[in-house]
């Protein structure tokens, strides 16, 4: 069997690795125009800031691929011959396949702003993007970033590392308004301020203004304010890459449509990662999940189906993480940005340090845990996952909070003050007792 | 030359921002301090002492002031331009520093007479502490301790957001100052053997050689205590402490070589070679050194039991030869002199028999591991980058596996630098120690053979 994978991002590579394990005899070819070898997309920012070099962001050394008989083709896939089961390549002869995985990823979403094609306007998704950004921001004094999400903060941090003046345009009233509750967003806002980023909330981009040379010189906001800048970062999300499926029998919507086995409408052709759109995602799950972790899980799942063990994609409780300048963020399960009928939230925040924890739960009954947000605190994934799968009662979670503490040794522990804060807010409930504390010393003393 | 291949990939080309005016001012003090020390080394006796102490004062003030300017702001990991600054990415500054350091070691070992002008100003301090005039080893020990203290101050500032790093840095500073500089000096002043309570066989191999033991035993109860201390530390305390805490209790908390690496070597920790090839060299060299020490120790005791019939004066010759190749060239000239080029733990990784011994214990008889937090790794490579021992940490993290490696000294920087809170140093129960996370299905592909 010959599996051809278009894209060497995390979804494609995980599929290749998993299939190699399941089917040692299979021939596996990865095609990528972006880079000769797989790299960590979330690490692109560290290249720009000089923390790492290109070899450092490659998860595997170059010998890994031939040793595991994973063939790499560094070329652009220009078209699909679905009937003839062939991939057309720009610089190589067509590649015949028995199974095809489309893991073409996503690209920066633009909102048809006037002037968006000016020089110095770009997003950050690909290796080429970060190289372009590195060139284009040399000698630049002022930059604007449009978009208040994860990539927006990343861009701000990168630019601040090179000491540019940075203004962020955020559409919502607070940072990442579609995902973060206001308390969490306030802690992120504090980071942005502390690191010298100017943030304009409730502000939208209207137009990009250029100079005579065709370079961006300023942006105009929807409130008709002009902000001078010589570089504009676009961080308003990503859209699936659909170039390859255009004109083929493969059905698409916003992304490449797949069933729960991640199969497209054409037998033998699959899609996974940022480019895939599930036809019928379970309630509460997004149809398109443009995320490193879900790309990995989809890649692994689809490899089972391709290898002859049809496996539906079930990702289990959601999780994600990020770092906003110096503030680490972890989330598990579902924590909505605003109030939801029948659900409640408990938020704890340290009086002075940038630390916060939110426990989101179902109101009434057992008060089953629905999700957690942690800022500046590290939580143990396995413990949170088990609580969420079991729908652990809030009181149990609070009493066992120490079990989820993943902070390094000698870090101050906050479980006692978290539980005390909960008890203060709920004086009518019976008192809580901390039953699990973290650490060797605690275990020895208990 | 294939080993150069890893050095050819440069970061994204861009000009590194100039240091701020305040930073440059403090760095100028460092430069002036070095200049004054240079003058002291060559000056006539009248100027010598003034230039020497002025130099050390300026150097110290400059180093601490610069650290405060650079890291005293907001708290967090600060690695901007690590791979593009000449001083930390094998640029001209790094090579100059490497040549200067190496040169110092060469002069110290083979032409100490040229250091006379730097040794004499320390006479007063040496009289006070040790009751005798200074020599080149007192100069070396004092400079070494000063480096650990000054750069320890820098590390305390840089990593002050991490209590683990604060406590650990304070620990190496304490052990260097107290047990590797003050106490041996005081022992000398009291006409006792110059004994280092923080170095044990097989690193300080002669402490358990027949000759070393005999000479200690000539010093009455204290000498007997020292021999007993050495035996207990090597064969009882080391396995027990390593069982509970991993080799870090020694390598990154107590040891003086480790202390220098964690403080003065911190700006160079990312330079260690992470490739599989390097790991192969490490395994084949470091265990050879350990085996060599073990066999030699056994032979020497056999020889002593037979009244010298077996080896004759081999013992002395061995001490000289090993001391020259391993003690001087490997541990000193290459180990420290090449900090700015090869990273800060070259000796610990490839040459230290104690690290090899502790590593075997850590791998097979310990509760220590670095836990990977479920499926949260994004393969960004920051953990591998900061690993001074050259462990490709992300190979384990991205598969959800705990990191259990003989080399790991438990400095904790991978955990500190991880942007997603994925890594944690833990002393857990040994059951399930190798168990990977269930949240990521680690593929069984051969990554590390």
Domain at A361, CATH number: 3.30.390.30
Q: B394 and A293: CB-CB below 8 Å?
A: no
Task: Identify the domain boundary among A284, A306, A328.
Answer: A306
**Res A441: pLDDT:** 54
Give me chain B's average pLDDT, please.
Answer: 91
- Predicted TM-score of the model (pTM): 0.94
- Residue A115 within any structural domain of the chain: no
- Taking the CA of residue B256 and the nearest CA in chain A, the distance in Å comes to 23
Q: What is the mean pLDDT of residues B224-244?
A: 97
| Residues A125, A174 within the same domain | yes
CA-CA-CA-CA dihedral for A6, A8, A9, A13, to nearest 10: 100
Q: What is the mean pLDDT of residues B4-12?
A: 53
Least trusted range by pLDDT, from A86-100, B201-215, B231-245, B378-392 = B201-215
- Residue A417 within any structural domain of the chain: yes
| Residues A19, A126 within the same domain | no
| Residues A99, A247 within the same domain | yes
| Residues A152, A214 within the same domain | yes
- Residue A113 within any structural domain of the chain: no
| Residues A323, A440 within the same domain | yes
Range of the domain at A15: 2-107+239-306
Q: B385 and A18: CB-CB below 8 Å?
A: no
- Residue A313 within any structural domain of the chain: no
- Taking the CA of residue B86 and the nearest CA in chain A, the distance in Å comes to 12
DSSP H stretches of helix in A137-268? 150-161, 182-194
**Res B4: pLDDT:** 41
Residue B26 has pLDDT above 70, yes or no: yes
Q: Is the dihedral of CA A43, A49, A51, A53 positive or negative?
A: positive
Residue B7 has pLDDT above 70, yes or no: no
Below-70 pLDDT ranges, chain A: 439-446
Q: What total number of domains does chain A contain?
A: 3
B103-142 residue pLDDT tens: 999 999 999 999 999 999 999 999 999 999 999 999 999 9
Task: Please name which of A60, A79, A82, A86 lies closest in space to residue A8, comparing C-alpha atoms.
Answer: A60
Q: What is the mean pLDDT of residues B394-420?
A: 96
To test the contact with chain A by mutation, choose from B375, B391, B401, B437 the residue with the greatest count of A C-beta atoms within 10 A, namely B375
For chain B, the domains span 276-355
| Residues A294, A341 within the same domain | no
| Residues A363, A427 within the same domain | yes
- Residue A312 within any structural domain of the chain: no
- Residue A369 within any structural domain of the chain: yes
Which chain B residues contact residue A58 at CB under 8 A? 381
Work out how many CB contacts closer than 8 A connect A with B.
170
Chain A, 70-129: which have a CB under 8 Å from a chain B CB?
A: none
**Res A22: pLDDT:** 94
Residue B316 pLDDT grade (very low, low, confident, very high; cuts 50, 70, 90): low
* A291 reaches B (C-beta below 8 A): no
Q: What is the CATH number of the domain that holds A154?
A: 3.50.50.60
B154-189 residue pLDDT tens: 999 999 999 999 999 999 999 999 999 999 999 999
A265-277 residue pLDDT tens: 999 999 999 999 9
**Res B437: pLDDT:** 80
| Residues A243, A340 within the same domain | no
Residue B445 pLDDT grade (very low, low, confident, very high; cuts 50, 70, 90): very low
Q: A408 and B443: CB-CB below 8 Å?
A: no
**Res B308: pLDDT:** 72
Residue B443 has pLDDT above 60, yes or no: no
Residue B396 has pLDDT above 50, yes or no: yes
Chain A, 304-363: which have a CB under 8 Å from a chain B CB?
A: 316, 319, 321-323, 325-326, 328, 330
Q: What is the ipTM of this complex?
A: 0.95
| Residues A89, A7 within the same domain | yes
DSSP H stretches of helix in A74-202? 127-136, 150-161, 182-194
Label each residue of B196-256 as H, E or C.
CCCCCCCCCHHHHCHHHHHHHHCCHHHHHHHHHHHHHHHHHHHHHHHHHHCCHHHHCCCCH
Which chain A residues contact residue B394 at CB under 8 A? 59
B366-392 residue pLDDT tens: 999 999 999 999 999 999 999 999 999
């Amino acid at each position: 069997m010959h599996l051809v994978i278009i894209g060497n991002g995390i979804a494609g590579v995980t599929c290749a690795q998993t299939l190699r394990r399941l089917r040692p005899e299979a021939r596996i070819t990865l095609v990528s125009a972006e880079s000769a070898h797989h790299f960590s997309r979330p690490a692109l920012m560290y290249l720009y800031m000089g923390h790492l070099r290109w070899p450092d962001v490659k998860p595997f050394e170059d010998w890994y691929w031939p040793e595991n008989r994973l063939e790499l083709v560094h070329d652009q896939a220009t078209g699909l011959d679905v009937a003839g089961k062939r991939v057309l390549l720009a610089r190589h002869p067509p590649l015949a396949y028995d199974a095809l995985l489309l893991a073409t990823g996503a690209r920066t979403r633009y909102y048809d702003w006037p002037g968006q094609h000016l020089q110095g306007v770009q997003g950050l998704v690909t290796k080429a993007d970060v190289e372009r950004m590195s060139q284009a921001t040399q000698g630049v004094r002022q930059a604007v970033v449009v978009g208040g999400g994860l990539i927006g903060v990343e861009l701000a941090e990168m630019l601040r590392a090179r000491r540019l003046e940075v203004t962020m345009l955020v559409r919502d009233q607070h940072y990442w308004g579609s995902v973060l509750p206001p308390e969490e967003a306030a802690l992120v806002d504090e980071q942005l301020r502390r690191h010298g980023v100017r943030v304009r909330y409730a502000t939208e981009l209207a137009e990009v203004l250029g100079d005579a040379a065709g370079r961006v010189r300023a942006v105009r906001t929807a409130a008709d304010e002009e902000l001078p800048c010589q570089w504009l970062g676009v961080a308003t999300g990503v859209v699936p890459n659909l170039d390859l499926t255009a004109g083929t029998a493969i059905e698409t919507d916003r992304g490449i449509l797949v069933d729960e086995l991640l199969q497209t409408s054409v037998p033998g052709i699959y899609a996974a990662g940022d480019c895939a759109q599930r036809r019928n995602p379970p309630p509460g799950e997004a149809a398109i999940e443009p995320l490193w972790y879900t790309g990995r899980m989809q890649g692994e799942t689809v490899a089972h189906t391709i290898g002859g063990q049809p496996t539906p994609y079930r990702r289990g409780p959601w999780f994600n993480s990020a770092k906003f300048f110096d503030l680490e963020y972890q989330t598990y399960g579902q924590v909505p940005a605003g109030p939801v009928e029948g659900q409640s939230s408990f938020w704890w925040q340290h009086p002075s340090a940038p630390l916060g924890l939110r426990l989101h739960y179902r109101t009434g009954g057992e008060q089953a845990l629905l999700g957690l947000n942690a800022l500046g605190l590290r939580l143990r994934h396995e413990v949170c996952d088990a609580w969420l799968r079991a729908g652990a009662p809030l009181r149990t979670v609070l009493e066992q909070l120490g079990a989820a503490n993943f902070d390094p040794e000698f870090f101050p522990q906050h479980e006692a003050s978290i539980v005390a804060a909960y008890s203060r807010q709920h004086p009518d409930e019976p008192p809580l007792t901390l039953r699990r504390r973290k650490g060797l010393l605690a275990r020895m003393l208990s | 030359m294939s080993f150069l291949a890893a050095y050819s990939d440069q970061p994204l080309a861009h000009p590194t921002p100039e240091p701020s005016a305040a930073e440059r001012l403090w760095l100028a003090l460092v430069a002036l301090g070095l200049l004054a020390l240079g003058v002291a080394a060559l000056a006539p006796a009248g100027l010598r002492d003034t230039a020497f102490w002025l130099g050390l004062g300026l150097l110290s003030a400059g180093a601490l002031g610069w650290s405060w300017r650079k890291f005293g702001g907001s708290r967090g990991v600060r690695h901007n331009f690590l791979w593009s600054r000449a001083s930390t990415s094998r640029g001209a500054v790094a090579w100059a520093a490497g040549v200067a350091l190496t040169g110092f070691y060469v002069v110290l070992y083979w032409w100490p007479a040229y250091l006379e002008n730097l040794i004499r100003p320390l006479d007063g301090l040496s009289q006070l502490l040790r009751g005798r005039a200074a020599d080149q080893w007192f100069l070396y020990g004092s400079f070494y301790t000063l480096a650990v203290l000054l750069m320890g101050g820098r590390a305390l500032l840089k990593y002050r957001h991490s209590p683990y790093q604060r406590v650990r840095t304070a620990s190496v500073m304490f052990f260097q100052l107290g047990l590797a500089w003050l106490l041996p000096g005081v022992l000398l002043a009291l006409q006792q053997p110059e004994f280092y309570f923080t170095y044990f066989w097989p690193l300080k191999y002669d402490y358990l050689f027949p000759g070393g033991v005999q000479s200690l035993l000539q010093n009455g109860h204290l000498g007997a205590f020292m021999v007993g201390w050495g035996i207990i530390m090597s064969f009882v305390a080391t396995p027990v402490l390593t069982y509970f805490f991993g080799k870090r209790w020694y390598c990154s908390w107590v040891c003086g070589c480790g202390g220098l690496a964690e403080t003065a070597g911190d700006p160079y920790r990312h330079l260690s070679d992470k490739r599989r090839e390097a790991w192969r060299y490490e395994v084949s060299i470091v265990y050879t050194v350990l085996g060599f020490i073990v066999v030699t120790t056994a032979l020497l005791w056999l020889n002593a039991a037979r009244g010298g019939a077996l080896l004759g004066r081999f013992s002395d010759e061995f001490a000289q030869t090993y001391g020259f190749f391993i003690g001087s060239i490997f541990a000193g000239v290459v180990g420290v002199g090449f900090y700015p080029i090869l990273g800060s733990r070259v000796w610990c990784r490839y040459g230290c028999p104690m690290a090899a011994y502790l590593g075997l214990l850590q791998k097979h008889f310990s509760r220590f591991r670095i836990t990977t937090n479920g499926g949260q790794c994004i393969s960004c490579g920051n953990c591998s980058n900061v690993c001074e021992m050259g462990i490709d940490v992300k190979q384990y993290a991205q598969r959800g596996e705990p990191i259990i490696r003989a080399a790991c000294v438990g400095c904790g920087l991978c955990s500190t630098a991880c942007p997603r809170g994925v890594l944690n140093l833990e002393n857990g129960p040994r059951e399930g120690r190798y168990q990977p996370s269930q949240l990521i299905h680690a593929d069984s592909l051969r990554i590390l053979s």
